[in-house]
Structure 1
Amino acid sequence: MNEEKWPERGEIVIGTVVRVNPYSAFISLEEYGNKEGMIHISEVAGKWVRDIRKFVKVGDKIVVKVMDVDREKKHIALSLKRVRKYDSEEKMREYKKKLKSEKMLKLLANKLNLSVEDVNKKITVEIEDKFGNVFDAFQMSLTPQGYDLLIRKGINEDLAKAIKSIAEEQLEIKEANIKSILELKSYKPDGINIIKNILNDAKKQFELEIKYVSAPRYSLGIKTKNAKAGERKVKEASELIIKKIEESGGEGKVE
């Protein structure tokens, strides 16, 4: 951390509550060399606050807004009540990603028999230049397409394999919910059974979840950690279902 670095007025920052007095709370700002900022009781909540300890406690990790910075007096005025919920959640997500990235870089250093300093100099800079940030590169390596992109962007294969190995231990791929709505019609007396049988066959063949929405609409869905493969599977299933419906004298289309 750079001890000479100071936050800017209006900036959203994260810190840890280190002291709480009757009319103020002091926050250690990890992003700025653990410089301390102060929240006055009037900046804690949008209503009258009788006991500041009901809102902040020592050890709490909180997101605050920088209201004023006086470098000569070494004073940083902060506000808790002026932080929007969205900004607070986004800042907390960024902070958690940063911590996770630092942990994965340490593991990467161990795997490659390098010091953390060497990894930061030789590898972190390269990853950030090519992918924006370390976390995204690790997360990207979990899918076949993302791993291939690492290679295409110039990450050597040994490093890409090490990144993928660590990501598999430390991260989870979020499941994507892929859906398609079909309109299916059959003009035969047993049309309902024809449609039902065709859908059941597709369900077994493609391992899909198929639901009746409302005549003549049916929903095809799949949860998968590989979104592109899931999209292909739903597309292939939809095309096959429509083909079989048409062969039986009916009509079908994707909404």
Structure 2
Amino acid sequence: MKFSGWPDPGELVVGRIDEIEDFGVFVDLLEYEDKRGLCHISEVASGWIKNVRDHVNVDQRVVAKVLDVDESSQQIDLSLKDVNDHQRKEKIQEWKNEQKADKWMAIAFSEDMDDEQYAAIANELLANFGSMYDGFEQAAIHGTEALEETDLSEEEVEAIVQTARENVSVPYVNVTGYVDLECPTGEGVDVIREALQAAEGNGEVPEEIQLEVTYVGSPEYRIEVQAPDYKTAEAHLEESAERARSVVEQHGGTGLYHRERNEDDE
């Protein structure tokens, strides 16, 4: 996807060195339709520059900072030296992600989709998620629920979710905690079994969450959670322990949640 408008001053853009002159370099902006910027020799690199060609090459991909935009004169002033290594890597990755999302759009809606439909769907994803890539990623993780707040049709939502789940590699994190469960009553074994079933969610854990409870050594049980992000993983970890604790305490037992394994069980 290429934007039809103009970049904003201060924005980082991905470009390709198109032409090198003694006074600077011309850069084709790869994210914008028919847009070209100029990076003056003083903005190519820090310090005194004897020869611009010692610093850049034709066809080189670069990340530049937009210094100024003059639409009336069709001029975009750029800086290469104002972009640090971290910003450069982050921007290139963002650009690559949007290229992936562009391909996923073609898979979801065919390469023959018209520009108007593409723009409408892309703008919905941009407005709700900040980027098309993030929209597809959230669809892969949360399914149709992720797109409930958009104005996309049911058919468009289903197409995005199906394509996302077949093509998006979702990042996951793992967290681990422990819960001590004790129930000294005559039904203690059954109560513990019920508590463990509750800890595992009784089949009601969201499909994007993987949760497993395993025995460590009496009275300790390990809870492992895999989720798309740490905040979600931690929340499900604590909820799992709380469900188990609630069951045993209802039957006169005790439950204690902790993050570190007891040394006595080593």
Alignment match, 1:30: 30
Contact 1:2/1:33 (<8 A) preserved:
yes
Instruction: Name the TM-score, length of structure 2 as normaliser.
Output: 0.60
| Alpha-carbon distance, 1:164 to partner | 1.6
Q: What is the percentage of aligned positions where both structures have the same residue?
A: 27
Alignment match, 2:203: none
Q: Cα gap change, 1:183/1:48 in structure 2, threshold over 3 Å: closer, same or farther?
A: farther
How far apart, CA to CA, are the structure 2 residues paired with 1:210 and 1:85? 47
How far apart, CA to CA, are the structure 2 residues paired with 1:174 and 1:48? 44
| Alpha-carbon distance, 1:17 to partner | 0.9
How far apart, CA to CA, are the structure 2 residues paired with 1:224 and 1:2? 34
Q: Cα gap change, 1:26/1:219 in structure 2, threshold over 3 Å: closer, same or farther?
A: farther
Paired residues, number = 230
How far apart, CA to CA, are the structure 2 residues paired with 1:232 and 1:52? 55
Give 1:1-255 correspondences, 5 Å limit: 5-21=5-21, 24-69=24-69, 74-110=74-110, 115-120=113-118, 123-128=121-126, 131=129, 133-143=131-141, 145-151=142-148, 155-180=152-177, 207=212, 222-225=225-228, 228=232, 231-232=235-236, 235-236=239-240, 252-254=256-258
How far apart, CA to CA, are the structure 1 residues paired with 2:176 and 2:233? 13
Q: Cα gap change, 1:120/1:35 in structure 2, threshold over 3 Å: closer, same or farther?
A: closer
Task: For 1:171, give the aligned amino acid.
Answer: V
Deviations 1:221-240 (A, max 9, x none): 54445875785357536875
How far apart, CA to CA, are the structure 2 residues paired with 1:78 and 1:56? 14
Aligned partner of residue 81 in structure 1, secondary structure: coil
How far apart, CA to CA, are the structure 1 residues paired with 2:244 and 2:46? 58
Task: For 2:172, give the aligned amino acid.
Answer: E
How far apart, CA to CA, are the structure 1 residues paired with 2:237 and 2:10? 48
How far apart, CA to CA, are the structure 1 residues paired with 2:172 and 2:27? 37
Task: For 1:25, give the aligned amino acid.
Answer: V
Task: For 1:147, give the aligned amino acid.
Answer: T
Aligned partner of residue 175 in structure 2, secondary structure: strand
| Alpha-carbon distance, 1:79 to partner | 1.2
How far apart, CA to CA, are the structure 2 residues paired with 1:73 and 1:172? 43
Instruction: Name the TM-score, length of structure 1 as normaliser.
Output: 0.63
Name the structure where helix makes up a greater proportion of residues. 1
How far apart, CA to CA, are the structure 2 residues paired with 1:51 and 1:210? 68
Please give the root-mean-square deviation of Cα atoms over the aligned residues, in Å.
4.7
Structure 1 residue runs of 5 or longer lacking an equivalent are 185-200, 212-217
Aligned partner of residue 58 in structure 2, secondary structure: coil
